[in-house]
Amino acid sequence: MNLEEYIAIKPNWPKKGVMFKDITPLLQDGKAYLYTVEQMAKLALEMGAELVVGPESRGFMFACPVATKLGVGFAPIRKKGKLPRETIEYSYELEYGIDTLCMHKDAVKKGQKVVIIDDIIALGGTMEAAINLVQSLGGEVVGIIALIGLTALPGVEKLKDYNLHCLMLDDVKED
């Protein structure tokens, strides 16, 4: 299946110069969505995932069904103030801003093999934050899976040593 057919491009959103990759057409097509989840689950199984982690919010859309398919737990990474119990946090730069992500302090067990799943790797800041959070709790990041890796931006190269797998690579440069 050619997943690129299910990605819409929105130029200059959310700001001028950004070529936003809209994944909602993929999510709206049951066969494409199922295929994507199955491909990600196959990779996560090969990586030995004992826990799947996904950053808010689009990472949830892939990480949750992958965790369910594998029969392992899911741990969310959320924006500051969104998790109800004691958390750890990490601040990072986005492609178009700065943010802080948090994770419950008991989300990852020491030595647990963790696969982090997100929709897009751009600058890599969100994924670096997720890696930092997992590792600070004693987890072992055994792999990263993304729907799209934007090769024109530094994230894919920056994360290559973390067993990164992208279902699609996109070399489109920002305007």
Active site residues: 58, 95
- Using an 8 Å Cβ cutoff, are 109 and 89 in contact? no
C-alpha 149/C-alpha 6 separation (Å) is 15
Q: Which DSSP string corresponds to the chain? A: --GGGG-EEEET-SSTT-EEEE-HHHHH-HHHHHHHHHHHHHHHHHHT-SEEEEETTTTHHHHHHHHHHHT-EEEEEEETT--SS-EEEEEEEETTEEEEEEEETTSS-TT-EEEEEEEEESSSHHHHHHHHHHHHTT-EEEEEEEEEEETTSTHHHHTGGGTEEEEEEE-PPP-
Rounded to the nearest 10°, the torsion over CA 75, 79, 81, 86 is 30
